[in-house]
């Protein structure tokens, strides 16, 4: 059984030596109120540097990550991220800057932020951007605050946000947090927004339509121009969840579709290691009529110099400390400048080709409920496997045994036993073929030996756990499960 880092602790062992204090010392009680001081020192492990390195290196080797495995997590765009961008983000001339330094000392960084906003405007067709939001969901919240402020400035009461059932799951939460009432629109039989359904729900109470395009089925809304025109006829804004922008780069600009504002997920589309709770960035772009409502401060260029501008009588105010996650923004800037317009377009086209290739292969194994040409991702249904007692969850666990992180399962909700696959543009044909081969073997196992899938995963340090209990009562120790059969009882797998 592996030891926890706390169990490796030895009293007096130290992994770092601090230099002698060269400043006058003062009692801690003079600096911190006594009520805020600990009565006992914190229980921290006392370990050497090599203890820490070995412990966390072993833990990292048990992880699935984009640097080690194919990671086809639909809707989340877990693509490989160039290490060049990491190196530049770690460059001391950027990494050692402090957000409270005066603008005169951070001109290079301010120039980067200013130019990134302009690049994002060029990519989307929006008139202005804020880089403050630190995640896609915070970008949604920022956009909805702007929508509310815009309608209030026009002295209109519009309490309703329309959201298709094919939108991302955070959209309703962001709308509710902003004080709106959410009305869900049922998709049509083709998986797209039903124009008749939209017309029935549009009224002078609707503040905006929040849609994802391409939607979570990987389908492009063919009637997008008619959709945005209908909304604008009723004075409603159109908000685009830009998390799926990886399918549109250089091909179409959201502003050309009639979109009024959107958020981009830089940590999905524009190069930052994504996952593990962060870091992220969700810049919000708006048309000219909404620019005055953007958060402050904003970066302005005056002559050849850059400065912060905190003015904004109609601004919704600050939404994040300082100016967002600058390291993520810098990586995105480098990514865009490196690829250029042609490179960004090739990125999206490669993502679309990969997704359609994989969808065609999958369609020979399991149903694809919405069989149209997809964009960057597609959704399959594992419903037929339920006849053998096998669920999408079982298949996801079995894929781990084959060395693949599982696609998104049970989302979107409009597909029973859904498996949502996004291969991204960075995966090779050989990787996609190997993934299909693994999936084919799992489908065969589901029909002939469903008990193998019920026991998966077996190759990992931990077998299947009760997810709810694991979240509420985490047990960080691992030891072999005596009740589980040895892995050799199941068929051999390719390493």
In a shared domain, residues 301 and 371: no
Answer whether 77's CB lies under 8 Å from 422's CB: yes
Task: Give the model's pLDDT for residue 278.
Answer: 67
Is 170 among the domain residues? yes
**CA of 201: how far to CAs of 162, 171, 221, in Å?**
8, 18, 18
Distance CA(345)–CA(351), nearest Å, equals 10
Bridge partners for 298 per DSSP:
309
Tell me if 78 is assigned to some domain: no
> Which of 281, 308, 340 is a domain's end point?
340
Q: Identify whether residues 98 and 198 lie together within a single domain.
A: yes
CB neighbours of 287 closer than 8 A, spacing ≥ 6? 126, 127, 255, 260, 261
Return phi, psi of residue 229, to 5°: -65, -45
Best CA proximity match to 315, nearest among 338, 296, 302: 296
Domain boundary among 292, 317, 340: 340
**What is the reported pLDDT for 483?**
47
1-8: long-range pairs with CB below 8 Å, 24+? 1/477, 1/478, 1/479, 2/58, 2/477, 2/478, 4/476, 4/477, 5/45, 5/47, 5/51, 5/52, 5/55, 6/43, 6/45, 8/45, 8/47, 8/51, 8/55
Examine the domain organization and report whether 23 and 40 are in the same domain: yes
Q: What CATH number does the domain containing 201 carry?
A: 3.40.640.10
Condensed to tens digits (0 to 9), the pLDDT of residues 246-262 reads 999 999 999 999 999 99
DSSP state of 187: B
Do residue 52 and residue 147 come from a single domain?
no
Helix (H) or strand (E) holding 211: strand 206-212
Residue 212 bridge partners (DSSP): 241
Domain that holds residue 405: 349-489
**Residue 76 has what pLDDT?**
85
Q: Is residue 70 part of a domain?
A: no
Given a contact cutoff of 8 angstroms between Cβ atoms, the answer to whether 75 and 243 are in contact is yes
Sheet holding 284-286, edge to edge: 128-130, 284-286, 261-264, 237-242, 206-212, 160-164, 181-185
Same domain, 225 and 245: yes
Same structural domain for residues 470 and 391? yes
227 in Cβ contact with 238 (< 8 Å): yes
Assign residue 483 the CATH number of its domain.
3.90.1150.10
pLDDT value, residue 59: 86
- Please tell me the distance from the alpha carbon of residue 143 to that of residue 131, in angstroms, as a whole number: 12
Q: Report how far residue 388's alpha carbon sits from residue 26's, in angstroms, rounded to the nearest whole number.
A: 71
Predicted pLDDT at 478 = 56
228 in the same domain as 354: no
DSSP codes, 383-444: GGGGGGT--HHHHHHHHHHTT-PPPEES-STTSTTEEEE---TT--HHHHHHHHHHHHHHHH
Residues of the chain with pLDDT under 70: 1, 273-278, 476-495
Residue 472 lies in a domain: yes
Cα 355–chain centre separation: 18
69 part of a folded domain: no
Same domain, 17 and 123: no
Alpha-carbon separation of residue 35 from 29, 115, 192, 320 (angstroms): 10, 48, 59, 30
The per-residue pLDDT for 413 is 87
Task: Domain count for the chain, please give it.
Answer: 3
* Residue 73 maps to a domain: no
Contacts for 195 with CB less than 8 Å, ≥ 6 apart: 223, 226, 227, 230
pLDDT digit string, tens, across residues 77-95: 888 888 999 999 999 999 9
81 in any annotated domain: no
Which of 340, 358, 388 is the C-terminal boundary of a domain? Answer: 340
pLDDT digits (tens, 9 = 90+) for 188-216: 999 999 999 999 999 999 999 999 999 99
Which residue(s) pair with 182 in the sheet? 161
Does 331 share its domain with 399? no
For 18, which DSSP code?
A: P
d(CA 227, CA 334): 35
Q: Judge if 145 and 244 occupy the same domain.
A: yes
From edge to edge, which strands make up the β-sheet containing 378-381?
378-381, 418-421, 408-409
Domain for residue 74, yes or no? no
Residues 238 and 320 in one domain: yes
Instruction: Please name which of 170, 39, 386 lies closest in space to residue 161, comparing C-alpha atoms.
Output: 170
358 and 323 in a common domain: no
């Amino acid at each position: 059984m592996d030891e926890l880092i706390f169990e490796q602790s030895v009293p007096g062992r130290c992994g770092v030596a601090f230099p002698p204090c060269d400043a006058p010392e003062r009692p801690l009680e003079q600096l911190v109120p006594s009520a805020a001081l600990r009565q006992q020192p914190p229980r921290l492990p006392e370990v050497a540097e090599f203890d820490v390195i070995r412990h966390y290196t072993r833990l990292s080797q048990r992880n699935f990550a984009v640097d080690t495995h194919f990671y086809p997590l639909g809707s989340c765009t877990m693509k490989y991220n160039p290490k060049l961008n990491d190196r530049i983000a770690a460059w001391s001339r950027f990494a050692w800057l402090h957000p409270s330094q005066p603008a005169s000392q951070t001109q290079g960084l301010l120039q980067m932020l200013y130019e990134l906003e302009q690049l994002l405007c060029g990519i989307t067709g929006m008139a202005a951007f804020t880089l403050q939001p630190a995640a896609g969901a915070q970008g949604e919240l920022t956009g909805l605050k702007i929508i509310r402020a815009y309608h209030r400035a026009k002295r209109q009461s519009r309490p309703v946000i329309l959201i298709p059932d094919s939108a991302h799951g955070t959209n309703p939460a962001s709308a509710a947090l902003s004080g709106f009432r959410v009305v869900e629109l049922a998709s049509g039989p083709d998986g797209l927004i039903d124009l008749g359904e939209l017309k029935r729900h549009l009224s002078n109470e609707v503040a905006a339509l929040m849609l994802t395009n391409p939607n979570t089925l990987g389908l492009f809304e063919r009637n997008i121009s008619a959709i945005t025109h209908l909304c604008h006829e009723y004075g409603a804004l159109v908000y685009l969840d830009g998390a799926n922008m990886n399918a549109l780069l250089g091909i179409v600009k959201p502003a050309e579709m009639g979109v009024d504002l959107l958020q981009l997920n830089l940590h999905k589309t524009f190069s930052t290691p994504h996952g593990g709770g962060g870091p992220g960035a969700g810049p919000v772009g708006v048309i000219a009529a909404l620019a005055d409502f953007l958060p402050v401060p904003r970066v302005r260029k005056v002559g050849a110099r850059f400065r912060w501008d905190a003015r904004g009588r109609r601004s919704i105010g600050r939404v994040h400390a300082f100016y967002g996650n600058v390291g993520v923004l810098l990586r995105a800037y480098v990514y865009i400048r490196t690829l250029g317009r042609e490179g960004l377009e090739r990125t999206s086209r490669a993502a679309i080709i990969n997704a359609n290739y994989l969808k065609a292969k999958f369609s020979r194994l399991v149903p694809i409920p919405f069989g149209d040409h997809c964009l960057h991702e597609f959704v399959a249904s594992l419903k037929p496997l339920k006849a053998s007692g096998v669920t999408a969850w079982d298949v996801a666990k079995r894929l781990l045994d084959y060395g693949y992180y599982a696609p998104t399962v049970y989302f979107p909700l409009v597909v029973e036993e859904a498996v949502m696959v996004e291969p991204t543009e960075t995966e090779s044909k050989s990787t996609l073929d190997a993934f299909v081969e693994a999936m084919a073997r799992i489908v065969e196992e589901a029909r002939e030996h469903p008990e193998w899938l019920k026991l998966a995963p077996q190759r990992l340090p931990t077998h299947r756990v009760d997810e709810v209990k694991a979240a509420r009562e985490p047990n960080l120790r691992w030891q072999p499960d005596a009740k589980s059969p040895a892995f050799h009882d199941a068929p051999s797998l390719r390493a």
